Structure 1
Amino acid sequence: MTDRNRTVLVGVDGSEGSSDAVRWAARLASGRDLELELVHCLQLAGLVYGGGLAGSAVLFEGIQQDGERIAAEARELALSEDASLKVRSEVFTDSAPALLIDRSKKARMVVLGRTGTGGFTGMLVGATTAAVVSHAGCPVAVVRGRHGDGPVPQDGPVVVGVDGSPNSEAAIAVAFEEASFRKAPLVAVHAWVDVVYDSTESAARLMPQWETLQPTEERLLAQRLAGWQEKYPDVEVQRKLVRDRPRHVLLDESDRAQLLVVGSRGRGGFAGMLLGSTSQALVHHSSCPVLVVRPERKR
């Protein structure tokens, strides 16, 4: 991410989740010489009636004013985190996913809050999330929390999922960078059995393979981390090799982490899928912010 432009793009809608995203993005930008771009998309669906007749100018003006208020309040909230931040806020009539995807091509990161109201309603559920996370031209952070069980620990580790795929390689690079910036330890998790067994008998039949595969998986994890540990000697790294499904292990790690970093799709995904089942599960259920990373496009 170091060669990208220095803009953090945040979708705002006036909801509590949106406010959490703005605060998180402001703290990320603070001290890194990054700029915030806050965007709000107006809800105009109610302005079109049967027969294609447009809604009244008065109604549009009210929606416009409300959108400008939301954008202004988001800007004030960002500046309350750091008054020296460079922040710009804009209001659009575009589709929220389309706007974010287009603007992400020139951004360092896109930041979204959990499901809210207004222009980004439904942003974190179903196909809309898949569209933004899968097609964005930069990493996408989904700011999640502890579901009322207290704040995300600011002194927790950065956790990254490692599986040897190109998506995983990109995630490792971003995770080391984030851990270094945050002065946090990095937990590299490699869950090397992504299989659902149908019966105790089938599990027992595969048991002997575990001992055979483990040294290979240990080498894979070590090889994937080696170059990055040399580049970031300040980052303390803990390797975690686990026989379990990745989503289970990473969701458990999210209880203690300040940030979870994953690739958009792992080596077990189906061809053509842009967002894997593990990434989807984390976006919906993680107890800390999730940063989903796709490989850099060749320019």
Structure 2
Amino acid sequence: MTIRPGAPVVVAVDGSASALEAVRIAAREAVTRGRPLRVVHAFIWPLYDVSLAPAPGAPLHAGLRHRADQLVAEAVTEAGKVAPELAVTSAVLDGAATPVLLAESRDAVLLVLGSRGLGGFGGLLIGSVAVQVSAHADCPVLVVKGEGRADGPVLVGVDGSDLSTEALKFAFEEASLRGTDLMAVHAWIIPAAPSDLLPVAYDVQALVADEERVLAEALAGWSERYPDVPVRHRVAYGAPARMLVEESATAQLTVVGARGRGALAGMLLGSVSHAVLHHSQSPVAIVRRRREDRKD
């Protein structure tokens, strides 16, 4: 599917520090892509039939609706500090965060979220909204977490699946826009074996050759499309999620497909993408096909 030329980078705000950091990242993403920025806030209170007006005796500028308008205005101001010439629009949209953001994703080139909002529980690594939106959005979702780095490669997990190809496309585009190199990681395990030990009964050299072929075939042709992007790669035996999390320590962005070859139908995200989203040490982009291009 071709994304319309005016499609924006969309960022969600809720008044949290995590959301403001997402605004700063989203502004930079919009500038590098030559796209406008759209700041949105999901205003849930009308669903609960509560009064949105100021309480009796309170200032006229008080009230829930005014507060929502105010935090969006603060986010627009923050985006302007990062990119003064950037075209920015904003909206306060009635509804719960997840359905509002999924609707926004249908006409966005990228959706940017903070990893934790105001409603997060202390023990959660990633907020529930970020997980749900990453699993179902119609555009790539960038979850801002970990160390924000200006250096380091764009890291991408490759497993040979069709969605892994989509992740590679996104990763090459990001690496080209950021003027950095790409690190492609393909990790593999034998399901019946411990993830860190190779059973002696297997032909190790044949297995390694097969897995190196998977990565080589996945990367074929991309360097011709993106000659400005230096490519490094790593093929190793071990748990894919663990390897990606380790590599993310020196990456400026980690990219994974929403679900890979081993995903179970009932899972919101594949096990690898879910683990990387929770434990990555860099911002994470979750890539999923748009609704028109997928079967589910």
Query: Is residue 2:288 matched to residue 1:290?
Result: no
CA deviations on 1:115-146 (whole Å, 9 max, x unpaired) are: 1216xx57974654342112111000000023
What are the equivalent positions in structure 2 for 1:166-181 lying under 5 Å apart?
166-181=162-177
CA deviations over 1:183-209 (Å, ceiling 9, x no partner): 101000000216474699xx5645534
Are the counterparts in 1 of residues 115 and 130 from structure 2 also a CA contact under 8 Å? no
The whole-number CA distance in structure 1 between the counterparts of 2:202 and 2:255 is 32
Aligned residue number for residue 149 of structure 1: none
Structure 1 position 35, deviation (Å): 0.8
- Work out the CA distance in 2 between the residues paired with 1:84 and 1:217: 47
Asked whether the equivalents of residues 46 and 94 of structure 2 are also in contact (C-alpha less than 8 Å), the reply is no
**Aligned partner of 2:161: which letter?**
S
Aligned to 2:150: 154
Name the residue aligned to 2:91. Answer: 90
Q: Which residue of 2 aligns with 1:257?
A: 251
Identical aligned residues as a percent: 43
Name the structure with the higher helix share. 1
Shift of 1:31: 3.6
Q: Is contact 2:189–2:239 with CA below 8 Å preserved after alignment?
A: yes
Separation (CA, whole Å) in 2 of partners of 1:126 and 1:23: 19
Q: Does 1:220 align with 2:208?
A: no
| Cα distance in 1, alignment partners of residues 4 and 205 from structure 2 | 43
Answer with 190-199 or 5-14: which moved more. Answer: 190-199
Q: Number of matched residues?
A: 285
Do the aligned residues in 2 keep the contact of 1:10 with 1:22 (CA within 8 Å)? yes
Post-superposition shift, 1:297? 3.9
Once the two structures are TM-superposed, the CA of residue 2 in structure 1 deviates from its matched residue by: 7.0
- The one-letter amino acid paired with 1:186 is L
**What secondary structure sits across from 2:213 in the alignment?**
helix
Give, in angstroms, the shift of residue 37 of structure 1: 0.7
Runs of 5+ unmatched residues, structure 1: 49-53, 147-151
Q: Report SS of the residue matched to 1:168.
A: helix
Asked if the contact 1:108–1:138 (Cα under 8 Å) also holds between the matched residues in 2, the reply is yes
Match for 1:285: what amino acid? H
Taking structure 1 as the reference length, what is the TM-score of the superposition?
0.87
Task: Give structure 1 regions of 4+ aligned residues with deviation exceeding 6 angstroms.
Answer: none
Please tell me the root mean square deviation across aligned C-alpha atoms, in Å: 2.6
**Residue of structure 1 equivalent to 2:265:** 271
> Cα distance, 1:3 vs. partner?
3.6
Aligned-partner residue type, residue 54 of structure 2: V
